[in-house]
Structure 1
Amino acid sequence: MQYSLVIPAHNEADNLPPLLAEIAALPPFRRPAEIILVDDASEDETAAVMAGLVAANPRLRLLRLPRRSGQSAAMLAGARAARSPWVATIDADGENDPADLPPMIELAIASGADLVGGLRRERKSSGSKQLASHIANGLRRRVLKDGCSDSACGLKLVRRDLLLRLPSFNGMHRFLPALVQIAGGHTRFIGVNDRPRRHGRSNYDNLGRAARGLIDMAGVLWLKRRGLAAAVAAAEEAARIEEPRIRAGRHS
């Protein structure tokens, strides 16, 4: 499977070099075809570090957003620039383990899923962050019924064409499993490693993220109840199945 790896980053100058070194150590047949670094208007040395990394590695590409736009915008910018049929995402802070990418690829191939999402095991974040995440995931899972216990995990693998058809909004990266399902796609999930942040501090606060998440969840629920994407996808699939039968009938 050929895939592009998108790494959104805001103020992650110290975390990017060791992360890229780990990605380079992946098995050759499971390394990404390209790595797209997306600088979300960083205020530290991230842009300079990215430029140095790109100069040393022809598989790296660099995008810079002119103003702070958020992780969803950075993810979509990278996906639009990607040249592969699949897009993987990973957080730039080092909390996600690149070694989990090969098993995710194997699961996508074996299951035929349109999205494979990571479920973080043995969380290493602070107690308050874990509690907030547990509450948010539980509420989202009960309301949206997406079957995902960790929608905010940064490790995801998704078909690029499907990702670019999804409704886009700030915060959509936390609702990708539900959005893919609403669009008629199939999702699978796999346990992945969780690691402590190497350097710096998180770009999110629990209270602000929770408030925005409730508003976003209401919007996704509206799409689930009123959207037509799944019905259209089912009709297209039925047409693809029926067409060979019609052709066969004409020749009989």
Structure 2
Amino acid sequence: MSNLAENREPVRLSVVVPVFNEADNVLPLLDEIERALIPVGGFEVIFVDDQSDDDTQVRLAPAVLAGRLRVLRHNRRSGQSAAVRSGVKAAHGEWVVTLDGDGQNDPADIPALFALVSGGKAGSPMLVGGLRKKRQDSLSKRWASKFANAVRQSFLQDGCTDSGCGLKLFRREAFLDLPFFGAMHRFLPALFRAHGHPVAYVPVNHRPRERGVSKYNNWRRGLIGVVDLLGVYWLKRRTKLSPTSEQL
């Protein structure tokens, strides 16, 4: 571990990036994250490799040795939600921000999300979700996403018009208190609200994919999403929380 890593400020914010076969994207993305968070100070970066079979590990190794980040690797393919949870469990920061490993989320948006929670004011959001402006995806993907968000909004009514945006910032402790399941990363706003946590949304930049290929199929993702949606709807209806007070 380098002296640079040893002399860092205490970690306030942990950046968790799930990746699968994104060898060409990981180092450019790491560079961007570091540049964006210099004004924030006290941050760490954690890449969670979901069993990539390309050169992702090779590309990241020198950065790990230089103390620029930590890398976790799943022993078997487990999916994006599991990768997010692995990263959050390993995080040292009170706050965690996630973003996709394909480079389409813009790290320059992170300070604006963090500014909404870093003041520690009463009633400040426990989760801030990004809403992608001017989606830089194919027409079919944009229409599929628009339809899916409309359907889920009719069921969950969580105010989130872009649940697929990977850029989300939240309180680590609150996340770990949620029930885990295989697609929970797409339902975090609804889950946070169901557990009584304030949620806010911020418009964020969206960029075209410059390297690598998408890992998602619209139809398969849509069919699985219907089942997940019904499960979250049931969970939301069954979550009955009551305020508590400590006896002195």
> TM-score, length-normalised on structure 2?
0.91
Instruction: Report if the CA contact (8 A) 1:6-1:87 is conserved.
Output: yes
| Residue of structure 2 equivalent to 1:135 | 147
Distance 1:24 1:86 in 2: 17
Does structure 2 retain, via aligned residues, the 8 Å contact 1:37–1:60? yes
| Conservation of the 8 A alpha-carbon contact between 1:4 and 1:84 | yes
Greater CA drift, 143-152 or 108-117: 108-117
Superposed displacement of residue 113, structure 1: 0.3
The counterpart of 1:113, out of the listed 105, 125, 136, is 125
1:250 corresponds in structure 2 to none
Contact 2:18/2:48 (8 A) holds in 1: yes
**Contact 2:37/2:43 (CA < 8 Å) preserved in 1?**
no
Query: For residues 204 and 152 of structure 1, what CA distance do their matches in structure 2 show?
Result: 12
Give the number of aligned pairs: 235
Task: Report the residue type matching 1:88 in the other structure.
Answer: V
- Any idea what SS the aligned residue of 1:30 has? coil
Give 3-state SS (helix, strand or coil) of 1:209's partner. Answer: helix
How far is the alpha carbon of 1:31 from its aligned partner? 4.7
The 1:203–1:31 alpha-carbon spacing in structure 2 relative to 1, beyond 3 Å, is farther
Candidates 42, 53, 70, aligned match of 1:61: 70
Letter in 2 for 1:157: L
SS where residue 184 of structure 1 aligns? Answer: coil
The residue number in structure 2 matching 1:45 is 55
Q: Does 1:154 align with 2:166?
A: yes
SS of residue in 2 equivalent to 1:25: helix
The answer on whether the counterparts of 2:192 and 2:198 sit within 8 Å (CA) in structure 1 is yes
| Cα distance between partner residues in 2 of 1:185 and 1:220 | 16
* Cα separation, 2, equivalents of 1:39 and 1:198: 20
- Mean Cα displacement is larger for which, 183-192 or 103-112? 103-112
Describe the SS at the equivalent of 1:37: strand
Q: Flag the structure with larger Rg.
A: 1
How many Å separate the matches in 2 of 1:29 and 1:125?
A: 30
1:90 aligns with 2:99: yes
Which residue identity does 1:116 align to in structure 2? V
Aligned match of 1:10: 20
User: Aligned-pair distance for 1:108?
Assistant: 2.3
Offset, 1:27? 4.7
Contact 1:6 1:36 in 2 (8 A): yes
Structure 1 window deviating more from structure 2 (104-113 vs 78-87): it is 104-113
Task: Letter of the 1:193 partner, please give it.
Answer: N
Could you say which residue in structure 2 is the equivalent of 1:28?
A: 38
CA apart distance, 1:33: 1.6
CA distance in structure 2 between the partners assigned to 1:195 and 1:152 by the alignment: 14
| Shift in CA distance, 130/121, structure 1 to aligned 2, threshold 3 Å | same
Structure 1, unpaired ranges of 5+: 248-252
Choose the corresponding residue for 2:109, options 100, 108, 115.
Answer: 100
SS of residue matched to 1:34: strand
Residue by residue, what CA displacement relative to the aligned partner does 1:177-215 show, whole Å, maximum 9, x if unpaired?
000011111100000000011211111100011011110
Partner Cα separation in structure 1 for residue 30 and residue 130 of structure 2: 19
| Corresponding residue of 1:206 | 218
- 2:206 maps to 194
Does the 8 Å contact 1:24/1:31 carry over to 2? no
CA distance in 2, matches of 1:46, 1:193: 25
Report the counterpart of residue 238 of structure 2 in structure 1.
Answer: 226
Task: List gaps (5 residues or longer) in structure 2.
Answer: 1-10
In structure 1, what residue type is equivalent to 2:175?
L
The residue number in structure 2 matching 1:163 is 175
Query: Offset of 1:109 from its aligned partner?
Result: 3.5
What is the alpha-carbon distance in structure 2 between the residues aligned to residue 84 and residue 109 of structure 1? 12
Residue 172 (structure 1) aligned to one of 167, 184, 187: 184
| Over 3 Å off, 4+ runs | none
